[in-house]
Structure 1
Amino acid sequence: MRFLIIICLFFQVLTTSAFGQAYQYHTVTAGETVYSISKKYDISQETLLKLNPEAKEGLQVNAKLVIPMSLEQSENAVKKAVSFNSHKVQKKETLYSLSKEYGVSVEDIKKYNKQLYSKELQNGETIQIPVFVVDESTPEKVIIAEKKERPTPGKVIIEERNPEVTNSKPSAQILKTREHIIIPKETKYGIARKYGMTLKELEDLNPKVGVLQPGMMIKVGTNVLNQPVVITDDAFEFYEVQPQETMYSLTRRFQVAEDSLVALNPALKDGLKWGMILKVPTKDSKGNKLEDVAGLGEKPMPTSELTKMDLSKNLKNFEPKNLVLMLPYNLSKIKNDSVSNAKESIQKDRVLRLSLDFYSGALMAIDRAKELGISTNLRVYDTQNNSGKVSQTIAANNFSNVDAVIGPLYQATSEEAASSLVNLNVPVISPITNRELKALPNLYQSRPSDDMLREAMIVFLQSNSQGKNVIIVADGASSAIKAKLVSAIPGARILNPQSNNITESSLASVIDKSRENWVILESENIALLGSATSALNRLARNNRITLFTTYKNSTFESDAVTNEHLGELSFHFPSEYKEFDETVTDSFVEAYKNKYGYIPNKYTVRGYDLTLDVLLRLAAMGSIEESVKANIITEYVENKFLYKPKSNGGFYNDAIYIMQLNKDLTLSVAK
């Protein structure tokens, strides 16, 4: 329904009062077919495929299918319940917890509260819990624990990484020392580098030494490196590696390729360690001073510690904002169709549904900005998901006074828009794609890439794993990320699975009962993830175990990995967005529900968050580029934004959430 409302806003021609059909969702389980599902709901296979055209390519386990509900079906279903218990939903209650409390299935609750098929459980709402007659002949659906075959135990290689040597802190004790006489222009950084020490180790050996003076004698270690202690070229400087840093973050920070950084610092071949003193550039490839490394000896400020700014309280420029929205509607195909054909077109076209979701959120953001005194001149163009159409649209219209372009959605069309507008210096904000975009000076990637998600989790693990028993479980296909984890957490233990299986006994052999155990699981193999999470869930009954991954791939959503197990293990993963807390009143969510009758999905919320952020940056800072220079984090309903310049041109969003799945299967931001 909401899609037709949105099309009305776009075309001003379609009606929204046409549909009386009710629908529900069916989650596909293993072994189900189009035929079996159509029989289950007493509909034809043709109807099922018409509503779910993607099912023609085959059914995927856990996929959600749209199923029509007849009035007769609803009435028959109600007759199966003897009575009802009225329940007022409390904070943090879920359908799952209520099903356990009342001894009914989640589907039973939804069946008698049909609004729950289209929206989530709301704090404070009253729902009806059915009470059934205990009758084995009743056709009511019951939840049966799926019997899983016990995996065949495979060999597991246990690789000890010397648990006594961790990355929690650099060693503060040098047993053997020698004397070093200071020469002109020497610094503590250079001396520590020469003798393979950390700055803290050098200062601990010489607690009374302040400013170095030529001729002064100090104590140093005996591990002399063939490295200069003085830098005479102002293109370089010494830098002390901080606890949360990795090779990836250092290459970003100093705008240098990894192999070049290793060439400057041969010791990096043995891995990056906290406290190392590195030789780093102070200028980029064009000879420009790197402003963000002016204080090279200072600890870089983690994203989590940067100042979050509420731009709505810092508005200065109230001139109307000229905004262009470029999305792949492809609406020319349905503009003159009947309402029923329009509905069918929407159901078949996932890109159109996504575009309309995003567009509806953007409209709500424009309304919110108007409430703050910011008016918007909005122009909307249909890109038809075609790069040629994008360039034609830009060539045929005047973009000289445009403040920002949001869209197009995907990589090729975003790059084409930025390339076509680069001479006008019009910022193009790519809203959805997480692929690495071309280095164009006016192109802003608002969604972090998968590599950035992994990097954020590595930084989180490195910064918070001190004192924990860290265990890395990674298959052969994950060797690259495994190497990065080992470099970041050198004290971690490694379990190398074979035959895509991890047994409970192998995991138990590296679990430490005296402290917290952090298990990092890296794989896309269903069998490995299933065996690992099941075994860890059993071990968690008597041990403190938390599960992590640097990238939550789709395999974590498979039947082999149950959410209950992940919840018990407080599963942590990186994400570019957080799910909004439905227990907390939010003006956007409430306004959207009142307008469309639905809770907004993540694409709608992204449309709102991104559009509002762009408008507020323009009103508070004057331009998108000036807002980037301010180095601020902005945060809205589900998304946050911290744009940083790429070394070769363009900007990327470096704001990432570390999420955790709680035991009640709710999500929260990890602390």
Structure 2
Amino acid sequence: MIKFLTALCFTLIFNINALTAQNFSTHQVKNGETIQGIATRYGVTISDIYSLNPDAKKELKANTILIIPISKAKKPTVISTKELQGFKEHRTSKKETLYSIAKRYEITEDDIKTHNTFLYANTLQKGDKLQIPVFKIIKEEPKATTQPYIVKAKEGKWRIAYQFGITVEELNALNPGIGEILQEGQQVYVPNMVSDDVKEVDEKYSYYNVLPKEGFYRLKLKLGLEQATLEALNPELKDTGLKEGMVLKIPYSNKMIDTGGIVTKRTPLETKITNFDTKHIAIMLPFRLNRVDFDSISEIKTSIKKDPYLDASLDFYSGVLTALDSLKSLGISLKVDVYDTKYQISEVIKIIKNNNFEDVDAVIGPLTPETFDKVATELHAYNIPVVSPIGTNLKLYDNVFQSRPSDDLLKDRMVNFVKADSLVKNIVIVSDTKNDSVANKIKTSFSYAKSVYSRKNKQDKDENFVYVEDIRSALKPGRNIVFLETQSEGFVSNVTSILASLNQRTEGNPNAIEIILVTTNFNSAFEGDQVSNDHLSKLQFHFATASKSYNDTENNSFVKRYTKIYNTTPSKRAVKGFDLTMDVVLRLATAQDLYMSVNNAPLTEYVENKFAYKKKLLGGYYNDATYIVKYSDLTIIEVK
């Protein structure tokens, strides 16, 4: 029943989209056409066309696709064209006139004059020999200017837009309510084109979405491609020029697409500073100072303890301030604006409306997804990069930098790490019901893996424990990798205790059972009081993480400076504030802008975090840099 209702909902959505799509049509501009002529033909105003096609105000170029609001329009008029086939000779009689001759042969007086030029200077006389043109009349019937298109599997908006020579925004205009993600089998409307004119997406090439205000010069700096190269790959550019949102074919480049590659060489930006112009950055955090009671120090402390957003913001901001101090010592001039977003979208709108962001080089924050999304969309028109400190499932607009690696990326890195271990003899996956899908996904990478599940009660619910024999029977002599996938602290305690008792790691004994514990989702369950760190160390517990822990014994200048200023060691949030601010500003100081820095600095690393930004095929940037760490002698160290 649920599947039926889901299918019914999809059907209704697609039908609604199909109906609303018919409120718009398209027109391909021909040589010599004017905006007035097109508006007259469709019975709309010039402003109607300009409202949907702002680029047409600058210049109306041949082959440009225009969106026409046919809800306001009349049926396009039939256009008749005349094709000259030859001539008839006619000798003028006494009472004939140009009008009567034109009517007799169903042509116009101008047609007669055009082919008998002496009539421009002389009147028609009896006995004049005239060349009467014979035309073939060709009527151009108005054809449907859009056609339905069925979305194929894994097909996104950019692919369809590229194939039919329009921008993603124009595709959205043709299909109001289309949604962000297209579904296989969904019907959308596209320009009605001859099949030979529909372009194919060639996987041997990369594709680039033109950002606001980008011209050929900026693309040369960004992509390293001359205008002639871009025009050769995209011939329509010669007619239409560059337009915001259009999709360009470019030579294959792993800088422009999601490759999943791992960069290993760090770029020391501190030694590469070349741009000493003042850098203007904005910091947006949910301090919510309007909720703080400032009457006394004790009340301020109470307010901080009660408000997790204020606590997190102050922690992060303390790291930012320490970074700004370090950057100034490097000779970098900074202008910094700090805004309290109050964890409210309305406040974000007010901040952007009341302040000038056009000369801001980068924005760090906000912390929360809704406010971050609003800032990113509002500043997209100015092409201002917005960097997220903690978000992982963001909408990657062209100007978004997601600094925290996604959970999926961490999972993949852990699986690939195990795949690369040539000494592995056996794989075991231990999981509970909540993590069935995770266990199944791991199984697709290791088809030979053995599965062990949590014991269940009579109600078929997890008891969050297994017996020793459940695990012992799945192990083999030699090296065993055990995936533990759960969010239950009790289950972690039970399984790690059993595994530690079964681990027989001894040098030079191939028949001994060696156990290495791993997980694709490190969470608080592994850090609970019930879990023995001694067991985790004995099992060399491995996991992928976005950041490693700094070592107290290392001579770390940031930790020293922070401890001296705040009389406490920095938290992970403070370290993230420091690392992220250092990275953003140093990238600005070593490249033309943050976008260009992605190519100039493939990998950067600071106290606990590293950054290797990759660009989505059509979208923003995500951090591809992760760590693999393990428990060793009751400490967590990086696995090199």
> What is the TM-score normalised by the length of structure 2?
0.58
The CA distance in 2 between the partners of 1:293 and 1:583, in whole Å, is 39
Runs ≥4 in structure 1, deviation > 6 angstroms?
Answer: 257-260
The CA distance in 2 between the partners of 1:295 and 1:331, in whole Å, is 41
Q: Is the 8 A contact 1:473 1:495 kept in 2?
A: yes
Q: Residue 449 of structure 1 corresponds to which residue in structure 2? A: 406
The CA distance in 2 between the partners of 1:294 and 1:615, in whole Å, is 21
| AA at the equivalent of 2:576 | R
Q: Residue 483 of structure 1 corresponds to which residue in structure 2? A: 440
> Is 1:409 the counterpart of 2:379 in the alignment?
no
Report matched runs for 1:490-501 at 5 Å: 490-499=447-456, 500-501=464-465
Kindly report the root-mean-square deviation, in angstroms, between the aligned alpha carbons of the 2 structures: 2.6
> 264, 271, 277: which is aligned to 1:313?
271
Cα drift, residue 281 of structure 1: 6.0
Instruction: Indicate the SS of the match to 2:249.
Output: coil
Q: Is the 8 A contact 2:361 2:385 kept in 1?
A: yes
Q: Is the 8 A contact 2:364 2:389 kept in 1?
A: yes
Q: Residue 549 of structure 1 corresponds to which residue in structure 2? A: 519
The CA distance in 1 between the partners of 2:251 and 2:447, in whole Å, is 31
Q: Residue 538 of structure 1 corresponds to which residue in structure 2? A: 501
Instruction: Indicate the SS of the match to 2:339.
Output: strand
The CA distance in 1 between the partners of 2:251 and 2:409, in whole Å, is 22
Report matched runs for 1:90-239 at 5 Å: none
Instruction: Indicate the SS of the match to 2:451.
Output: strand
| AA at the equivalent of 1:635 | E
Cα drift, residue 532 of structure 1: 1.3
Pair 1:669–1:517, CA change in 2 (3 A): same
Pair 1:484–1:378, CA change in 2 (3 A): same
> Is 1:508 the counterpart of 2:508 in the alignment?
no
Q: Is the 8 A contact 2:345 2:370 kept in 1?
A: yes
The CA distance in 1 between the partners of 2:266 and 2:182, in whole Å, is 31
| AA at the equivalent of 1:432 | I
> Is 1:586 the counterpart of 2:586 in the alignment?
no
The CA distance in 2 between the partners of 1:283 and 1:643, in whole Å, is 17
> Is 1:343 the counterpart of 2:306 in the alignment?
no
The CA distance in 1 between the partners of 2:546 and 2:585, in whole Å, is 21
> Is 1:464 the counterpart of 2:421 in the alignment?
yes
> 558, 562, 565: which is aligned to 1:595?
565
The CA distance in 1 between the partners of 2:345 and 2:255, in whole Å, is 41
Q: Is the 8 A contact 2:293 2:303 kept in 1?
A: no
Q: Residue 366 of structure 1 corresponds to which residue in structure 2? A: 324
The CA distance in 1 between the partners of 2:582 and 2:503, in whole Å, is 43
Instruction: Indicate the SS of the match to 1:544.
Output: strand
The CA distance in 1 between the partners of 2:516 and 2:479, in whole Å, is 8
The CA distance in 2 between the partners of 1:591 and 1:294, in whole Å, is 36
Cα drift, residue 258 of structure 1: 13
The CA distance in 1 between the partners of 2:325 and 2:304, in whole Å, is 25
Cα drift, residue 422 of structure 1: 0.7
Q: Residue 638 of structure 2 corresponds to which residue in structure 1? A: 669
Q: Is the 8 A contact 1:470 1:493 kept in 2?
A: yes
Q: Residue 292 of structure 1 corresponds to which residue in structure 2? A: 253
Cα drift, residue 536 of structure 1: 0.2
Listed one character per residue, the Cα deviations across residues 125-152 of structure 1 (whole Å, up to 9, x for unaligned) are: xxxxxxxxxxxxxxxxxxxxxxxxxxxx
> What is the TM-score normalised by the length of structure 1?
0.55
Deviates more, 1:368-377 or 1:500-509: 500-509
Cα drift, residue 548 of structure 1: 0.2
| AA at the equivalent of 2:471 | L
> 413, 437, 447: which is aligned to 2:394?
437
Cα drift, residue 456 of structure 1: 1.7
Q: Is the 8 A contact 1:365 1:611 kept in 2?
A: yes
**Alignment coverage as a number of residue pairs:** 391
The CA distance in 2 between the partners of 1:474 and 1:280, in whole Å, is 38
The CA distance in 1 between the partners of 2:275 and 2:561, in whole Å, is 26
Cα drift, residue 415 of structure 1: 0.7
Listed one character per residue, the Cα deviations across residues 615-665 of structure 1 (whole Å, up to 9, x for unaligned) are: 1000011211001133611000000011111234111111111111113x2
The CA distance in 2 between the partners of 1:591 and 1:292, in whole Å, is 41
Cα drift, residue 547 of structure 1: 0.3
Cα drift, residue 553 of structure 1: 2.1
> Is 1:657 the counterpart of 2:627 in the alignment?
yes
Pair 1:431–1:534, CA change in 2 (3 A): same
The CA distance in 2 between the partners of 1:322 and 1:283, in whole Å, is 33
Q: Is the 8 A contact 1:324 1:404 kept in 2?
A: yes
Cα drift, residue 332 of structure 1: 3.0
> 585, 592, 605: which is aligned to 1:615?
585
Instruction: Indicate the SS of the match to 2:570.
Output: coil
Pair 1:597–1:336, CA change in 2 (3 A): closer
Listed one character per residue, the Cα deviations across residues 315-370 of structure 1 (whole Å, up to 9, x for unaligned) are: 11011110111111112333742222212111211211111111111111111111
| AA at the equivalent of 1:583 | T
Q: Residue 84 of structure 1 corresponds to which residue in structure 2? A: none
Structure 2 unmatched runs, 5+: 1-158, 160-180, 185-201, 209-246, 457-463, 506-512
Pair 1:259–1:525, CA change in 2 (3 A): farther
| AA at the equivalent of 1:399 | F
Cα drift, residue 478 of structure 1: 1.8
Cα drift, residue 474 of structure 1: 2.4
| AA at the equivalent of 1:407 | G
The CA distance in 1 between the partners of 2:273 and 2:443, in whole Å, is 46
Q: Residue 613 of structure 2 corresponds to which residue in structure 1? A: 643
Listed one character per residue, the Cα deviations across residues 380-435 of structure 1 (whole Å, up to 9, x for unaligned) are: 1110011110111011001111011111111111111111111111111011223x
The CA distance in 2 between the partners of 1:562 and 1:258, in whole Å, is 47
